[in-house]
Structure 1
Amino acid sequence: MTLDQTVSPTLDTAPWWTSAVVYQVYPRSFADSDGDGVGDLNGITSRLEHLERLGVDVIWLSPVYASPQADNGYDIADYQAIDPLFGTLEDFDRLVAEAHARGMKLVMDLVVNHTSDEHPWFVESRSSKHNPKRDWYWWRRPREGFEAGQPGAEPTNWQSYFSGPTWTLDEATGEYYLHLFAPRQPDLNWENPEVRQEVYSMMRWWLDRGVDGFRMDVISLISKDPALPDGATTGAGGLGDGFPHFSNGPRVHEFLQEMHREVFDGRSGDLLTVGETPGVTWADARLFTDPARRELDMVFQFDHVCLDHGPGGKFDLRPLDLRDLKASMGRWQEELSEVGWNSLYWCNHDQPRVVSRFGDDGEHWRESATAWATVLHLHRGTPYVYQGEELGMTNAPFAGVHEMRDIESLNHYAEAIAAGGDPESVLRGLRTMGRDNARTPVQWDASPQAGFTTGQPWLAVNPNHTWLNAAAQYDDPRSVFNHYRKLIELRHALPVIAHGDFRMLLADHPHLYAYERTLNDDRLLVVANLSGTPHTAALDGDWSAVDLLLSNVDEPSIVNGRISMEPWSAHVFRKR
Structure 2
Amino acid sequence: MTVNGKVHVQKWWKHGVVYQIYPASFCDSNGDGVGDLPGITSKLDYLKDLGADIVWICPMYDSPQVDMGYDISNYEDVYRPYGTVQDMEHLIKEAHDRGIKIMLDLVINHTSDQHEWFKESRSSKDNPKRDWYIWKPAKYTEDGKRVPPNNWRSNFGDHSAWTWDETTQEYYLRLFAKEQPDVNFDCEEARKTIYKSAMEFWLERGVDGFRVDTVNMYSKPIGLPDAPIIDPDSPWQPAGHVYCNGPRMHEFLGEMNEILSRYGAITVGELPNTPSMEKVLKYVSAEAKQLDMVFQFDVVDVGHGVTHHYTAKPKNFELPEVKSAIDRTQTLIKGNDAWTTVFLENHDQARSVSRFADDSPRFREASAKMLALMQACLSGTQYVYQGQEIGVVNAPKDSYPLENYLDLNSYLYVDMIKERYGANNAAKIDEAFDSLQYLARDHSRVPMAWNGKGKYGGFADVAEKEGKDIKEPWMKAHPLAGEINVASQLGDSNSVLGFWKKMIAFRKQYADLTVYGDYYTLRLEDKDTFLFFKEIPGGNGDKLAVLLNFTKDEKKVEPPTARELRLPEESSLKFELIASTHGAKEVQEALAPFEGRAYLVKV
- Give the TM-score category using the shorter length: over 0.9
Among 450, 474, 492, the alignment partner of 2:490 is 474
Specify the code of the residue in structure 1 equivalent to 2:455.
P
Aligned-residue offset at 1:313: 3.0
Q: Which among 211, 217, 221 is matched to residue 225 of structure 1?
A: 221
| 2:245 paired residue number | 248
The whole-number CA distance in structure 2 between the counterparts of 1:147 and 1:451 is 60
Structure 2 partner of 1:106: 102
Root mean square deviation of aligned Cα? 1.8
* Correspondence 1:149-548 to 2 at 5 A: 150=145, 153-163=147-157, 164-202=159-197, 203-235=199-231, 236-261=233-258, 263-268=259-264, 271-281=265-275, 282-315=277-310, 316-317=312-313, 318-339=315-336, 340-362=338-360, 363-398=362-397, 399-420=400-421, 422-446=428-452, 447-453=454-460, 454-494=470-510, 495-519=512-536, 520-541=540-561, 544-548=573-577
1:90 aligns with 2:86: yes
Contact 1:20 1:491 in 2 (8 A): no
One-letter amino acid matched to 1:188: V
Query: Which residue identity does 2:139 align to in structure 1?
Result: R
- The one-letter code matched in structure 1 to 2:256 is M
- Tell me by how many angstroms 1:11 deviates: 10
CA distance in 2, matches of 1:209, 1:467: 40
Q: Equivalents in 2 of 1:45, 1:11: separation in Å? A: 37
Q: Give the distance between the partners of 1:358 and 1:64, measured in 2 at CA.
A: 30
Looking at structure 1, the residues matched to 407 and 8 of structure 2 have their Cα atoms a distance apart, in angstroms, of 44
Query: What percent of counterpart residues are identical?
Result: 37
Distance 2:408 2:99 in 1: 36
Distance 2:238 2:392 in 1: 35
Q: Secondary structure at the match of 2:190?
A: helix
- Where 2:481 maps in the other structure, the secondary structure is helix
Gaps spanning 5+ residues in structure 2: where? 1-5, 461-469, 563-571
CA distance in 2 between partners of 1:478 and 1:550 (Å):
13
CA distance in 2, matches of 1:322, 1:360: 13
**Which sits farther off after the overlay, 103-112 or 355-364?**
355-364
Q: Aligned-pair distance for 1:147?
A: 9.6
* Aligned partner letter, 1:243: G
* More moved, 168-177 vs 372-381: 372-381
Amino acid of the residue matched to residue 191 of structure 2?
Answer: R
Please give the alpha-carbon distance, in whole angstroms, between the structure 2 residues aligned to 1:389 and 1:242.
Answer: 32
Q: Does 1:553 align with 2:582?
A: yes
> How big is each residue's C-alpha offset from its partner over 1:533-574, in whole Å with a ceiling of 9 and x where there is no partner?
11111122358533322111132112xxx3411100001111
Q: Give, in angstroms, the shift of residue 255 of structure 1.
A: 0.9
Structure 1 residue 15, shift from structure 2 partner: 2.1
For 2:410, the aligned partner's letter is S
Q: Whole-Å Cα distance in 2 between the matches of residues 534 and 30 of structure 1?
A: 37
* 1:398-444 deviation digits (Å, cap 9, x = unpaired): 54331111000001101111110611111111111111111001111
Is this contact kept in 1: 2:241–2:273, CA < 8 A? Answer: no
Pairing 1:53-68 to 2, within 5 Å after superposition? 53-68=49-64
1:460-485 deviation line (CA, Å, top 9, x unaligned): 11121112111111111111111111
Name the amino acid aligned to 2:329. Answer: W
Q: Decide whether the 8 Å contact of 2:303 with 2:317 is kept in 1.
A: yes
Question: By how many angstroms is 1:312 displaced?
Answer: 4.0
Secondary structure class of the residue paired with 2:327: helix
Equivalent-residue separation in structure 2 for 1:300 and 1:283 (angstroms):
15
Q: Give the letter aligned to residue 547 of structure 1.
A: E
Give the Cα separation in 1 of the matches to 2:22 and 2:447: 9
Deviates more, 1:113-122 or 1:325-334: 325-334
CA offsets per residue over residues 214-247 of structure 1, 9 Å max, x none?
Answer: 0000111111113111112334441123223211
Secondary structure of the residue aligned to 1:274 is strand
- In 1, Cα distance between equivalents of 2:335 and 2:105: 28
Aligned counterparts of 2:584 and 2:316: Cα–Cα separation in 1: 31
User: 1:222–1:12: structure 2 CA closer, same or farther, 3 Å change rule?
Assistant: closer
The DSSP-based 3-state class of the residue aligned with 1:85 is: helix
Which AA in structure 1 matches 2:396?
P
Q: Give 3-state SS (helix, strand or coil) of 1:285's partner.
A: helix
User: Any conservation in 2 of the 1:11–1:499 contact (CA below 8 Å)?
Assistant: no
Partner of 1:566: 592
Q: What is the match of residue 5 of structure 1?
A: none
What is the distance in 2 between the residues matched to 1:463 and 1:243?
A: 36
Is residue 260–residue 266 contact of structure 2 (8 Å, CA) maintained in 1? no
SS in 1 for 2:263: coil
Separation in structure 2 between the aligned mates of residue 145 and residue 57 of structure 1, nearest angstrom: 56
Q: Give distance in 1, aligned partners of 2:142 and 2:37.
A: 49
Matches of 2:378 and 2:583, distance apart in 1 = 23
Contact 1:401 1:410 in 2 (8 A): no
Distance 2:142 2:113 in 1: 25
State how far apart, in whole Å, the 1-side matches of 2:508 and 2:262 are.
Answer: 28
C-alpha separation in 2, matches of 1:260 and 1:110: 13
| Counterpart-to-counterpart distance in 2, 1:219 and 1:67 | 20
Query: Counterpart of 1:564 in 2: which secondary structure?
Result: coil
Aligned-partner Cα distance in 2 for 1:418–1:139 = 28
CA distance in 1, matches of 2:332, 2:38: 42
Structure 1: stretches of 5+ with no match in the other structure: 1-9
Q: Per-residue CA shift, 1:38-59, capped at 9, x if unaligned?
A: 1000000011111111001100
Within 2, Cα distance between the matches of 1:563 and 1:323?
Answer: 23
Mapped to 1, the partners of 2:47 and 2:39 lie a distance apart of 13
- Are residues 237 and 537 of structure 1, via their aligned partners in 2, closer, same or farther at CA, if it must alter by over 3 Å? closer
Separation in 2, partners of 1:276, 1:432: 22
Q: TM-score, normalised by structure 1?
A: 0.94
Partner SS, residue 227 of structure 1 = coil
CA-to-partner distance for each residue in 1:281-301, whole Å, 9 max, x for gaps?
322221100011100000011
Q: Is the 8 A contact 1:503 1:515 kept in 2?
A: yes
Q: Per the alignment, in what secondary structure is the counterpart of residue 397 of structure 1?
A: coil
Distance 2:11 2:253 in 1: 20
The amino acid across from 1:414 in the alignment is D
Amino acid at match of 2:290: E
Distance 2:556 2:8 in 1: 39
Larger mean Cα displacement after TM superposition, 309-318 or 238-247: 309-318
1:350–1:12 distance in 2 versus 1, CA, 3 Å: closer
Q: Choose 542-551 or 244-253, whichever is displaced more.
A: 542-551
Q: Are 1:119 and 2:148 counterparts?
A: no
Alpha-carbon distance, 1:101 to partner: 0.8
Q: 1:84 to 1:141 in 2, by over 3 A?
A: same
User: In the TM superposition, what whole-angstrom CA distance separates every residue of 1:304-333 from its partner, at most 9, and x where no partner exists?
Assistant: 122212344322225231111111211332
